Amino acid sequence: MKFACVVFPGSNCDVDMYHAIKDALSEEVEYVRHDVSNLDQYDGILLPGGFSYGDYLRSGAIARFSNVMQAVIKAAKEGKPVLGVCNGFQILLESGLLPGAMLRNKQLQFICKTVPLKVINANTMFTSAYEENEIIHIPVAHGEGNYYCDEETLKQLRENQQIVFTYEDNPNGSILNIAGITNESGNVLGMMPHPERAVEELLGSEDGLRLFKSIVKNWRETNVVTA
C-alpha cells in the first residue's frame, strides 16, 4: 500500500507520520507538497499535525485552499482512506470533508500528554484491529482541540456511528468527549490524538500502530492485486 504524507508550510508532524508508515508499518510512503494537484498514484492520504500556514485566521483555514486539497477531496470521494491528525483534522473540518469545528481548549492552554481514549466504533477501516469500548493510550498535543458541532450534527454523528474515539478524561472540553470522527461513508477519519506517536513501546505506547494496520488490512481485503 502506498501512502501520501502531505506537507504544508508549517507542518511539523510529517516526519513522525512518515516514520510510522515506513519503519513501524513497513509500507510505502512519500512526502507530498501542498502545491501538488494529483494524488491518483496513492492508495491512502495522510494529513499530519503541525501549524499549517502558522494557523493564521484559525487552524486549517488557509491550508484548505492549498492545491493539494482538491486532490484530497477527490481521493475521499473515490473511497480512499484519508486520515487527518490534529492540524490535519482541523484541515478536514475546514475543507468540509468532516462536519463541525474546532475551538480553543477550554482552559485556554496548550495540552501535551498521553491520554486514555475509548474506541467507540471498532467497525471502520481505521479501527478494525481494536475491540469495541477498548481503552487505548495515545498522545495529544494541541491548543485548539475542543471539538464542537450543533445539535443536529451531533445527532447525525451518533445515529450514523461516526464517532470513533472519545476521551476518557476530556482534556480540552470537546462536546460529548469526542476525540475522533469519520465522514458518513467511513473512509475519512479526523482525530486530535497522534497515533503516529504511539507506534513503538519506546515511545510509551504502541496502541496507535493498530490504527495504521487496520487501514492496510482493509485496503488489502478490498483491492485485488494481480501480477
Does residue 53 form part of some domain?
A: yes
Catalytic residue among 86, 142, 144, 149: 86
Number of domains present in the structure of the chain: 1
Tell whether 227 is covered by a domain: no
In one-letter notation, the amino acid at residue 177 is N
Using CA atoms, how far apart are residues 131 and 199, in angstroms rounded to an integer?
18
Read off the pLDDT of each residue in 19-25 and give the average, rounded to a whole number: 96
User: Is 10 inside a domain boundary?
Assistant: yes
> pTM for the full model?
0.95
Q: Is 142 a catalytic residue?
A: no
The string of pLDDT tens digits covering residues 168-189 is 999 999 999 999 999 999 999 9
pLDDT reported for residue 227: 41
Q: Which of 13, 34, 142, 194 is catalytic?
A: 194
Residue 30 lies in a domain: yes
- Residue 152: inside a domain, yes or no? yes
Catalytic residue list contains 137: no
Name the 3-class secondary structure at 151.
Answer: helix
Q: What is the CATH number of the domain that holds 216?
A: 3.40.50.880
Query: Confidence band (pLDDT; 50, 70, 90) for 225?
Result: low
Q: Identify whether 196 is a catalytic site residue.
A: yes
Residue span of the structural domain in which 24 resides: 2-222
Contacts of 23 (CB under 8 A, 6+ apart): none
pLDDT computed for residue 223 by the predictor: 85
Give the CA distances from residue 135 to residues 24, 42, 110, in Å, rounded to whole numbers and listed in that order: 21, 31, 23
DSSP codes of every residue in 23-67? IIS--EEEEEETT----TT-SEEEE--B-GGGG-SSTTTTGGGSH
